[in-house]
Structures are given as C-alpha cells and as structure tokens.
Structure 1
Amino acid sequence: MQLDLLFFAAAVPAVLLVGLSKGGLGGAFALMGVPLLALVVDPLKAAAIFLPILIVMDIVALWAWRHHNDRRTLLMILPGGIFGIALGWATSAMVPPDALRFLIALTTILFAGRYFYQVYGPRSQGERPPLPQRPVAATFWGTVAGYASFVAHAGGPPFQIYVLPLRLDPKSYTGASVRFFALVNAIKLIPYFALGALDLENLTASATLLPLALVATMMGAAIVRRLKAEVFYPLTYGLALVAGLKLMWDAVM
C-alpha cells in the first residue's frame, strides 16, 4: 500500500467525517469513513487503519465530554454491547455482513421515518414525551450495536434506536455515546490483533492520519456544544435516516 495522492484523496474526507461524528455530531458521518477509504484499499485494511484512529479519537472525545454523561443509560446498554462484540467474534463468519447491514438499515429508516411523521406529519402533535429506561430493550439494542460494530462497523444506528427516544439532554446523550463506543472500540482491539490486521503498514497509515483526526473530533465537539435540544434531535434523527439509507445502499450494492 502506497501513501500517495490517491490514498489521501479518499482518506482525508473519510477521517474528517469520522472525526466530526466522534466529536458528537452524529453516527451517519462515521458510517461513511470506512467505505470511502475502501475505495482505494481493501475493506479489511480500511477498517484496520481506522481502528487505531478511532481509539485516539475516543480518547480526545472522552476528554472533551468528560463532564457530561448519563450514567444510568450507559450502564443499561453497555452489557449488551460487550455481549454483542463477543457474539460477533464467535459467529461473524456465519452471518453475511450485507444481511446485517440490510436489517439494521431497514430498522433505522423506519425508526427515523416514524419520528418525522409523528412530529411533522399531518396528524403531528409535536415532540413526544421521553420514554423511560427499559432494561430488555437496552440489552437487545446494546447487543445489536456491539455486534454490528464488530461485523459491519455500523453500531451507531442501533445505539440511537434505544437512546434517542429517551430524549436526554444533548450533552448527556453525547457523553454517554462517546463512552459507549470508546469501550466498544477498545474491546475490539483484541480480535483485530488476533486477526493480524494491525500490522506495521496499517499502523503507519493510521499514524499519518492522526493529526487530522484530532482536529476533526474537537470540531465536532465544539459544534454539538452550541446546539439546543430543539435543533439537536431533528438533526440527529435526520443523520440517523442518512445512516440507514447509506447502509441500505451498501447492502443492496
């Protein structure tokens, strides 16, 4: 693999999008990172290059959102996420990634479409009241998020399906999201090392892109801090819809 102009033409926008997402601006951007980089390198190599970058982005995001979290939500959904990673490691060879992408995409599109219909449709009653914490739903969607993150790099939409209806304060939502995916990505290091994907060549490419990743993550955090809830939630549901459509496209194509 050569770090030439063609590589950077795909890698720079990919890292910028993932960095904005890691800063808290929305999981839809993160879904576009690996497919963009996969235009110029093997998909597994693209995912391997991104993982160390994601870890460093997670550290920056954890620092940026260190004062914000929703502890109860994180404790609800994290056990399922850890179980999902283990399940993905054990069964990923048996489940076609595109089948998982399709199911997650369909669920996410219906989930986001329902929100916009309820809020802006002909019989809309404005924003719905927040849902309570639901342990069974948290475990289920946490497992799907962990599994999808391991198998198809698509953990954001399942996480949003459970957490967005809770209507947390935007800063608390982002803090919980940052912590959840920081832990998920750290755990994913184990199977990636076992697969031999984190070799010297991939780590060199990761290190080259790190400065841009750090700047993009801080930019995303700065933008989210300035968003009010009435702007944050329509924007986040809209990005979830974009993520669902992007996953659907990847699965079908």
Structure 2
Amino acid sequence: MFLNYPPIFWVTAVIAVLLLGIAKAGFGGGPGFLVTPLVALTISVSEAAALLLPLFIFTDLLTLRQYKLNYDRPSISLMLPSAIIGIVIGALLFSTLSHNDRAMQIGIGLLSLIFLAYQIYKVQILGVFEAHRPPRTAGVLLSAAAGFTSMLAHAGGPLATMYLLPQQLSRQIFVGTMVLFFTIVNLIKLIPYSFLGLLTIGNMAVVLVLAPLCFVGVKLGVYLNGRFTDKWFNRVIYIVLFLTSIKLIRG
C-alpha cells in the first residue's frame, strides 16, 4: 500500500506533519494552513485532506491536555452548533467535487490565497472586529464558515479567531477555547469523511507511519519559538503558501 504513493508524496507529507506540530506548539497554529495545500501538490485534494484529518486530531489532543479545563463555555455553546451546519454544507460540496480534483485544486488554491490576504491584513481586520464586538449573529455566521472551510481544507482558524478574539478572553481561555473547539470539530468531521469513503485502511496505515512526527514537530515548535520570531518564520511560510497556491490553481 505504501508503494501506491510517489516518493515526492513522502517528502511533502513529512514536511507537512512536522509543520503541523511546529505551528500548533510554537507559532499559534497559523502556519498550519500550508499543510493541506502542500500535500495536495502530490496526491488528490480529497485524499490529502483525509490523510491529514487524523493527524490534526492527534495534534489537537496533544495540545488539549494543556488547556482542557480552560475554555469559555458560552462561546463553545454558540460556536459548535453553527460549525456543524458549516461541516454539513462543506460535506455536500465535498461529495459533489471530490471526483473533480482539478476543481478541488483550484478551490484550495483560491482559499489559500484568501487566507494569505487575511494574514497580511490581519491586524486591520481584527482591529475592526475588536472595535465593534461581534454580536451573536456574527458568531453564528463566522462559526458556520469556520466549519465549512475546516471541512474542505482544515482551515477554519482565522474565522473562529474573528469572533473569539474580540470577546476579551484571557490568553489562556482564548487558546483553550480555540483548541477545544477545533478538537471537537475535527472529531465530528470523521463522520462525513467516513461516509464519503475517504478514510480507508490504506491511508490509515500511512497516518500511523506519520503520527510520530507530530511529537517531533511539537518539540521543534517549542525549540524554534524561543529562537525565531513569528515575523520571519511566517514570512517564509507565506511565501511558500503563495507559490503552492499558484501551483494548485495553474495545475
């Protein structure tokens, strides 16, 4: 089963999983957006997303241990039902496009460019949201959108942040709420991914091979965080994300 994957897949998969751990542990999770597009360069988008989902969950559970008692219950109660609606809509779109990998590549590429634009203007965007504290309606819409983008590309973080950050939670509670929210969201996503036939014995065997790299990535994240600023690390990540996005769009 391992021979079904080209050598370049293993190169991108190792880099992606290490990056996932580094992003979660050392750089606020933002660079993790590169993970799915990077792997999608070498295999289909749907298979890349399926392979990475258990690894996201594994990394989430590692992180959750540090924050399991520190979260904002009202925010979770508002966001989760909305996110489930977004996941369902995303699953319907996924089922429609999963056999059209070219369309999926273009979609992931465009979504990545939107994320890149968000990161460039993040201070201004979040400043607007913080100045005008989002009402519950905005929380519902942003959480649904987070569930939708998470279903397609494991990329709901920025949308959830737009709602949570202006709630003026302590740093510990904010991080704990984000971690718990996406741990539950990713666990829920196992259901549609299974119904769509994306989780197979073959790709789960690949997941088991790659899973130990999550630990390595987390250790690297802690190490690098003390030696590199977010600014320079993120610049490198965003350049790679831009090039990866253009490659996916152009085919």
Q: What is the TM-score of this pair, normalised by structure 1?
A: 0.74
Residues 200-233 of structure 1 deviation map (CA, whole Å, 9 limit, x = unaligned): 2101110001111133246547888x8xxxx99x
Mapped to 2, the partners of 1:47 and 1:190 lie a distance apart of 14
- For the aligned residues, what is the CA RMSD? 4.0
Q: 1:181 is matched with which residue? A: 182
Q: 1:59 is matched with which residue? A: 61
Mapped to 2, the partners of 1:15 and 1:238 lie a distance apart of 19
**SS, match of residue 150 in structure 1:** helix
Residues 34-83 of structure 1 deviation map (CA, whole Å, 9 limit, x = unaligned): 22222332222221111111221121111122243222322222221111
**SS, match of residue 22 in structure 2:** helix
2:57 is the alignment partner of 1:37: no
Distance 1:245 1:221, change over 3 A: same
2:21 is the alignment partner of 1:19: yes
**SS, match of residue 39 in structure 1:** coil
Tell me how many residue pairs correspond in the alignment: 240
Mapped to 2, the partners of 1:107 and 1:12 lie a distance apart of 23
Distance 1:168 1:10, change over 3 A: same
Question: Contact 1:108–1:241 at 8 Å: present in 2 too?
Answer: yes
Deviation at 1:110, TM superposition (A): 5.6
Structure 1: segments with no counterpart, 5+ residues: 120-126
Once the two structures are superposed, the pairs formed by residues 1-253 of structure 1 within 5 Å of their partners are: 1-2=2-3, 6-23=8-25, 25-93=27-95, 98=106, 102=110, 106=114, 109=117, 113=121, 115-116=123-124, 132=133, 134-217=135-218, 220=221, 249=246, 252-253=249-250
Question: Contact 2:25–2:218 at 8 Å: present in 1 too?
Answer: yes
Mapped to 2, the partners of 1:170 and 1:239 lie a distance apart of 26
Question: Contact 1:28–1:243 at 8 Å: present in 2 too?
Answer: no
Distance 1:105 1:144, change over 3 A: farther
Percent of aligned pairs with the same residue? 28
Mapped to 2, the partners of 1:144 and 1:113 lie a distance apart of 19
Q: 1:123 is matched with which residue? A: none
Q: What is the TM-score of this pair, normalised by structure 2?
A: 0.75
Mapped to 2, the partners of 1:5 and 1:247 lie a distance apart of 18
